[in-house]
Structure 1
Amino acid sequence: MTSYVIPAHDIVGLPVAGTSDLFPVRRVYCVGRNYAGHAREMGSDPDREPPFFFCKPGDAQAVVPAAPNRVLELPYPPATSNLHYECELVVAIGKGGANISVEDAASHIFGYAVGFDMTRRDLQFKMRDAGRPWEIGKAFDFSAPIGLIHRAAEAGDINNAAIQLDVDGVTKQSSAISHLIWSISETMANLSTLFTLAPGDLIFSGTPEGVGAVVRGQVLEGKVEGLSPITVKLV
């Protein structure tokens, strides 16, 4: 039996719809500016340049499971006065591989969920303007709440599904997965040339336009057609 010099870290498990099983999280990859409208509102050219990626930690301090039909209380993070929501379709990888083809990418997907890429926008912009990494703006504690994972075969026509985020009942983001600049399969193919994907990896596929700031007490509801919604309250 292996003995560690400190207690081993817990694996984060995300609930899988219709079962008592958990999906063990390994790495969390995020695609930047994958909707043209969001690229424009961030001051970038939405032309179809190669996708770029950043990561969030896959540990229990960052990835927060959100139970269906319940409101997840999410702590407002320190060191920011401009916390933004970004609602995204999250892809859960069930079969690993490198240099995956676009045609074969779907066979590597276990399922899908709705997630929020919470962002300390002021810190992200500060790092961006200085030419430094984004981690303090993107990879902080509780920055990745994720809802129930649905198996791919049970998720319906996910590539054409509607995606929406409401703040206190008012719709702020509304689009469709079909509006992704790089499709899910194209994103996976590109990402797998940079990293060997493995079972347990998650990919945040990008957020539509309409991102904005939230404050304590506000309630966020994220929805992707065919999946369980996620509801979060900032505290």
Structure 2
Amino acid sequence: MLLSAFQMIRAMFMITLIILNTMVFSGIMVALSPLKLMLPFPAWRHFWTAWFVEMGATWSTVNSRFLDWSHSTKIVLDLPEGLSRNHSYLVLANHQTWVDMPVLEYALARRIPGRRIFIKQSLIWVPFLGQACWAMDFPFMKRYTAKQLAKSPELRERNLETVRKNCERMKGMPSTLLNFSEGTRFTSAKHAKQSSPYTHLLKPKIAGVATVIGLLGDSLDA
């Protein structure tokens, strides 16, 4: 019982460190993000985006060290050989729990270029973190209900246009684009509502991924 209490305290301390680390790095990015808009030159924006993405990679690396220190969970990695920060990648992942993102960051930090992630539009309003994601050029995707899409089918095109613009900005620099293919975190209620044919997965949303492959196929190394 004493050991369990100690592990819980250590886990809470680790979570606190990760939150503080996130606040520090995102705070720096938020403070400097207006620099991206100071000059209307693509090279200027490209420079600052790359710098912010590198800051994000450093943030992930520090968080990974905290996970190593906690020793509360053993993470076993089986990664392909030849991963490089000088290449470009499309990473597809399932979304099962809230720890998916920390584990992915742990697995990929400093092994491939800093990640841009398809995230929902509402997250841009999360203090510090949302603005930091904007600075790193994360594609913000709007969620529409089936009723909205039935009434206005053109809404589908808005998200695809966001993907296209982001892909254009990624060309010419090593990049990683991470997409949770299901578009949302798995729950039993969502699984039942979708009548998903997969036991532990929701139905994947493929339009965005197809657009990325179509636009960046020749630029992607894997």
What TM-score, normalized by structure 2, do the two folds share? 0.26
Greater fraction of residues in strand: 1
In our comparison, the structure showing a higher alpha carbon Rg is 2
Greater fraction of residues in helix: 2
